[in-house]
Structures are given as structure tokens and as C-alpha cells.
Amino acid sequence: MSYGLLKGKKGIISGALDENSIAWKTAIKAHEEGAQIVLTNAPIAMRMGKINELAEQIGAEIIPADATSVEDLENLYTKSMEVLDGKMDFVLHSIGMSPNIRKGRAYGDLNYDWFLKSIDISALSFHKFMQVGDKLGALNEWGSVVGLSYIAAQKTFPFYTDMADAKAVLESIARSFGYRLGKSKKIRVNTISQSPTMTTAGSGIGGFDSFFDFAEKMSPLGNATGENCADYIVSLFSDLTRMVTMQNLYHDGGYSSTGISEEIIEMMQK
């Protein structure tokens, strides 16, 4: 059911790889709610995914951009304003990658060049999205910028290795830039700590299936799906959340507030 929450709003959604991506689901939901959208992803990710199918489905233009490149982001915002005939009301940062995780390097044996790449892609790109957009005057007053995080920024999950550090930086950037953009343009900046979700990126992490089942048993509402998260993101893009900013918002079925569940106790007693 559509409520017209984003009627007349324009925005950029990054990171839609395939139909399992939260960004993909968010683009569909935002379109249903009346938004005009530009899709973007790194050229290599676009070759791996199905973003052209999504663009055709929602009538969106694709503007490739490496989110670690200021020049690419300047081009992204400039062309987006031309395509959409106006400034952005929302931006979704759904970008994260760790070469150390992909190549099986343990946290105590990190390749530091790869670690810096994890931080650049997964966290500094969030700062670059906002800095470039702000300098170009491409963000409307009372706009909304959302980044996707994970609870490993606060609590230790051994399998998440250097991505946990990257997510901690991401959340810090949301607070620091959220203050700046809030003061200057009433733009709010938030991150969402989502349940473990069966995306292409998530399922590539070692031990993910076991943790997915564990989180499902720990959460009183169960794991939040990608579709659930897309709904939540759309609410943050909308005018209904105008006074929410600089927050890391848990969207995890109650997992983050549960010490232990009855299901886990029962498992341990067997």
C-alpha cells in the first residue's frame, strides 16, 4: 500500500546490486511512495549486478560513481540535479566492502592497505557523499541522509573483523556531519543498524548463516527483513521524521536490547 510519503521528493540511492539488496528494495518502495530517483553504484559493482533491471522497473536513470572518488561524486550530484531538475531531498548510502573479509584475513592478521580500503569504501565515502553534496549546494533544506550500519560497531562479532571498525567510523561521521548539516540546512543524518539480512554482501561473511539463525532466536520480533528495512528508510526520508537526526537507529526486531532469549536457553539445556 502506498501513502504518498515521498510525493514530489527527489533523491539518490546507492548500492543496489540485485533484488536481495536493501538499496534495491528501498528504491522500489521510494518509487511507490512517489519519489524521483537516481541510482548509482561503482562501475565494477554495476557489472556484477542487475541495476539496469531496477532502473527499467522504476523509470530511474543510472549514474555510475565510485563513492571513494570526490570527482565521481561531483559528477553524480551535478548530473542528478540535471536529470531530476532540482536538488536532492534524500540520499541513501548503502555501501560497504572489506578486502580482508573477502580474502579470509583474520582480525589479528589484517593487511593494513586493505584495511584502509575498507574504511575508505565503507565509511569515508559517507563523509564524501555529504561533503560534496553540501559544497555543491545539491541538498535541499530538511533533507535526509541515511547510511546502513551494523551492531558490530558497538559490540564484538568476531566474524565481522575490520568492517566493525568501519561501521564505528560511519556512525561517528553521521553524528559529526549531522550536527553540521542540521545547523546549516536542517538536514538530518542517521544510520540504521539492521538485522542480519540475506543480501549478497551479508551472506558472503563467514558463519553468516549460523548467526542469522541465532539472531532470529534472540529477537522477540524475529529478524527484520530487507523489505522491513526499506520501509523504515522511506520513513526516514519522509517528513514524518523531521526531528530525528544524529542517531544510530536499531532495526533488528529487539535483538540489540535482548540479553538472552528463552529459545537460546532451551538450546543450551539440550
Catalytic residues: 150, 160
CA end-to-end span of the chain, whole Å? Answer: 44
User: Cell numbers of 260, please?
Assistant: 538472552
Name 54's Cβ contacts closer than 8 Å, sequence gap at least 6.
16, 19, 24, 27, 28, 39, 60
At position 259, the amino acid (one-letter code) is G
Query: Which set of grid coordinates corresponds to residue 228?
Result: 522491513
Dihedral angle over CA of 231, 185, 174, 138, nearest 10:
80
* Whole-angstrom distance, CA of residue 189 vs CA of residue 134: 13
For residue 13, the SS3 value is strand
Query: Distance (Å, rounded) from C-alpha 138 to C-alpha 157?
Result: 37
Element (H, E) at 115: helix 112-119
